[in-house]
Amino acid sequence: MGKGIAVKPTAGVVYAPFDGKVTALLPSKHAIDLTNNQGVGLLIHIGKDTVELNGNHFEAYVSLNQLVKKGDKLLSFDIDQLVSEGYTVTTPIIITNTAEYSAVTFEDGNIKIEV
């Protein structure tokens, strides 16, 4: 799948980390795939097994193939409700095309990609 990190969100909002395009948005709204203008693919997957909720407690503010700018609101989710129903909100963020780059590293909260 690719290299990545996992974060435990403190707010139930996902913002675009870069300018790019929405290349996948699952109907359950718990995961989104973006591709930036340089071709880097990024998957943001909220929680574990949250697909089981069929979109309950999630809201999407973008659509498939939509162009986004860094800072645009992409998704929101109800952290308290997810936790109360037994779901973790730990969110993997994965570079989906890691193999296309000579190195992908994580330093000081930033992702560094070398071509």
Active site annotation includes 57: no
The label of the residue with tokens 């992702």 reads 111
Q: Do the Cβ atoms of 30 and 77 come closer than 8 Å?
A: yes
Cα 12 to chain center, whole Å? Answer: 12
Q: Who's near 50: CB < 8 A, 6+ residues apart?
A: 28, 30, 58, 82, 87
Question: Which of the residues 45, 47, 79, 87 is marked catalytic?
Answer: 45
Q: Catalytic amino acids?
A: 45
